[in-house]
Structure 1
Amino acid sequence: MADQQFQVGIIGASGYAGQVLHALIMQHPCMHAVIPETRNPGDLDDRGREQLRACEVVALALPGEPATQWTDALTELGVAKILDLSDARRRDPTAHYGLPELFGAPPAGTRIVANPGCYPTATLLSLRPLIERELISPTPIAVLGTSGASGAGKGLADHLHFCNLAGNSFPYKVGEHRHVPEIEHHLGGGAAVSFVTQLLPIVRGMIVTSFVAPRVGPERLRDALVERYASHPWVSVLAQPDQGLGLGHVVGTHQALLAVGPVERSGLVPVFSSIDNLMRGAASQALCNLNLWLELAPGLGLPPPLAGSPTGVAPAFSSLGSTAARD
């Protein structure tokens, strides 16, 4: 495969997700990154237009409105494939929702792949197989998501200032989080989700805890997840929800770690998921979609999956160093 070379445009390569995607593509044996000199499609010159026309795929690492503007401009240029990392197309029936373990590879003729958000990725991986098999009630579902500050992007805001965030943690966007419609739409089954997020004083990584009403015992819930992901090495289902879910095990990797807790006194069961929001929740998932869309091996250019289920407390962000060593 290494003799195949694909031109992949990245618009928004200066953002956090765009930077990580650019770094991954720079090390990819079959892809070459093309970075236009402008973030505004109206400022494209002839050279920029020709660069983008020559790309097999263009990735948009942008917020929703600019991504929509670029989609229109790229369509006019004749770009055949657009990978959108924003939330602009994630409920669009004409776009492929790019969570391969649950929705498969992008069809060859698809024009737009909508890369899922980080919170939806973590939540859907842990809950959709259980809803599909009617092992849990689709309502009510209460989801608590905790994430590092990189998930908020590079925009300036008081709550992201070091003096306000360091040594602190607090809920944000309570009752108005933009990921709720995406999560409910792709969970299916009439799911209704109560969703609260909390910002952690760290850069990257997230843990999502979903409290669900089970129709079977927690052991059967775990077995269902193990069965669903048996052929997917970048999703690990832990035997117990303990320190193995720690962010130090997933930051810098494409891995998703899932676990199911015991029945609580209320009758609810906690279902856990931890990922790197910039990798599995954005850039490495985008690269996996690119591989599949271009008919390459899905893991090409990605850090290898974990050799076994992690246990114990990992040193903080140890996986960043181990990923670099593997590369």
Structure 2
Amino acid sequence: MLRAAVVGGTGYGAVELIRLIDKHPHLQLNTVISHSQSGTEIEEIYPHLTNLIHITMDEWNIQKLAKIIDVVFFATPPGVSQKLVPECRQHGLQCIDLSGDFRLINPETYETWYAYSAAPQEYLNEATYGLTEIYGDDIKNSKLISNPGCYPTATLLALIPAVKQGWVKMDSIIIDGKSGVSGAGRKVSLATHFSEVNENLKAYKLGAHQHIPEIEQYLQQESKEPNTQVTFSTHLIPMTRGLMCSIYFDLTEKKTTEELINFYTEVYSNHPFIRIRPEGIFPATKEVSGSNYCDIGIHSDPRTGKVTIISVIDNLVKGASGQAIQNLNLMNGWDVRTGLLEIPIYP
């Protein structure tokens, strides 16, 4: 049994981690760290945990923590985990970071897109990008995981198989992303105010979203084309959970829908959380709600030579906390499905 800590205990990612840790047969939640709510019972912040989770949130103290935990999940805003991870690693603790502090290899790129100083280079070098289905072999041997962002998870799982085959014209990629409001976090803002979001659809952070360099970094790595750039637009939709990426690109050679679906089905045949839809069927966000699945539908248009891929995830599970648990399973030699075999919530 591994003893776990969740740092950043008042956010949606953290409370989803708490739910998943509680049902995991090899994990025990020993503490929740929250600087702003230290000394507060977790059920006071999240009443749905009443009589289920009895934890008083605590301050960060690595000397104390190192005696009672084995793994730390960081569900923190940017700029926080990079200060705490080095202490954890010096004490031999496994670390899974759900923020963006260790995703970008180049410190200057991080500082440009996140507007914070970058993490120490030695820890950027140590971190393994936790896109489980793609980098599983590296994750198995890692002690520091940088959990992917929600949009990159849906995008890269949809693109990388075709990119690695050289079938994608890398200068043609367009990603149209749409996310539920929980992706913006729990902090109150005008942008997520009910009256602003309800019965409304709006684009945000066009050309400036911090997930752009993350997506480009791994597409460049897999395509071996160092100057790859993507057009990436994001939209806020009036629902709590769910994320859809509609991805468009030109083919370098003719491929039918059937050929692409058969290829993707084979690529992901040993990955239980990727589900490829049959020809003519495309996934919806509700079909993965509350689960760790990524569902993918593919259409190759013979008239235009363009491919459309629809990729959907639950932004809080596969896009954050569920993938973190999936990575921990790999790190410790457990079945990747452990604690995650959840039937999606429907309707």
Counterpart contact for 1:90–1:97, Cα < 8 Å: yes
Q: Which residue of 1 aligns with 2:153?
A: 121
Separation in structure 2 between the aligned mates of residue 164 and residue 290 of structure 1, nearest angstrom: 38
1:260 is paired with a residue whose SS is: strand
Q: Is the 8 A contact 2:12 2:182 kept in 1?
A: yes
CA contact (8 A) 1:6 1:31 kept: yes
Alpha-carbon offset, residue 175 of structure 1: 0.7
Q: For 1:17-166, what aligned pairs fall within 5 Å after superposition?
A: 17-39=13-35, 44=59, 49-75=63-89, 78-92=91-105, 93-107=125-139, 110-166=142-198
Structure 2 residue aligned with 1:222 = 261
Q: How far apart are residue 68 of structure 1 and its match?
A: 1.2
Corresponding position of 2:49: none
Unaligned ranges ≥5, structure 2: 37-57, 106-124
Shift of 1:264: 6.7
Contact 1:55/1:79 (8 A) holds in 2: no
Rounded Cα–Cα distance in structure 2 between residues aligned with 1:61 and 1:267: 41
Cα distance in structure 2, aligned partners of 1:36 and 1:74: 15
- Tell me, yes or no, if structure 1 residue 297 matches structure 2 residue 335: yes
**Alpha-carbon distance in 2 for matches of 1:109, 1:264:** 43
Distance 1:218 1:198, change over 3 A: farther
CA contact (8 A) 2:9 2:32 kept: no
Query: Offset of 1:13 from its aligned partner?
Result: 2.5
Cα deviation for residue 251 of structure 1 reads: 0.5
Separation in 2 of the partners of 1:130 and 1:197? 23
After superposition, the CA RMSD in angstroms is: 2.2
Residues 37 and 146 of structure 1: is their aligned pair in 2 closer, same or farther, counting only changes over 3 Å? closer
Amino acid at match of 2:267: R
Equivalent position to 2:207, from 175, 181, 185: 175
Number of the residue aligned with 1:232: 271
Please give the alpha-carbon distance, in whole angstroms, between the structure 2 residues aligned to 1:172 and 1:158.
Answer: 13
Q: How many residues in Structure 1 have an aligned counterpart in Structure 2?
A: 301
Indicate if the aligned counterparts of 2:207 and 2:232 stay in contact, CA closer than 8 A. yes
| 1:239-278 equivalent positions in 2, closer than 5 A | 239-242=278-281, 244-263=282-301, 265-278=303-316
The answer for the alignment partner of 1:210 in structure 2 is 247
Do 1:11 and 1:39's aligned partners in 2 also have CA atoms closer than 8 Å?
no
| Cross-structure match for 2:47 | none
Alignment partners' CA distance in 2, 1:11 and 1:37: 5
Q: CA deviation at 1:12?
A: 1.3
Q: Identity over the aligned pairs, expressed in percent?
A: 30
Determine the C-alpha separation between the residues in 1 that align with 2:181 and 2:193: 10
The CA distance in 1 between the partners of 2:141 and 2:305, in whole Å, is 46
- The TM-score, its normalising length taken from structure 2, stands at 0.81
**What whole-Å deviation, never above 9, does each CA across 1:207-226 have from its counterpart, x for those lacking one?**
10111101222322222211
Amino acid at match of 2:315: N
* CA–CA distance in structure 2, aligned partners of residues 119 and 211 of structure 1: 15
Give, as a single letter, the amino acid of the residue that structure 1 aligns with 2:290. G
Structure 1 residue ranges without an equivalent (≥5): 307-318, 323-327
Report the CA distance between 1:192 and its aligned residue. 1.9
Query: Are residues 29 and 171 of structure 1, via their aligned partners in 2, closer, same or farther at CA, if it must alter by over 3 Å?
Result: same
> Which range moved further: 142-151 or 218-227?
218-227
Q: CA deviation at 1:80?
A: 2.6
Distance 1:89-1:140 versus aligned 2 partners, 3 A rule:
same
Per-residue deviation at 1:116?
0.6
TM-superposed CA distance for 1:37, in Å, is 4.5
For residue 106 of structure 1, report the CA deviation from its aligned partner: 4.6
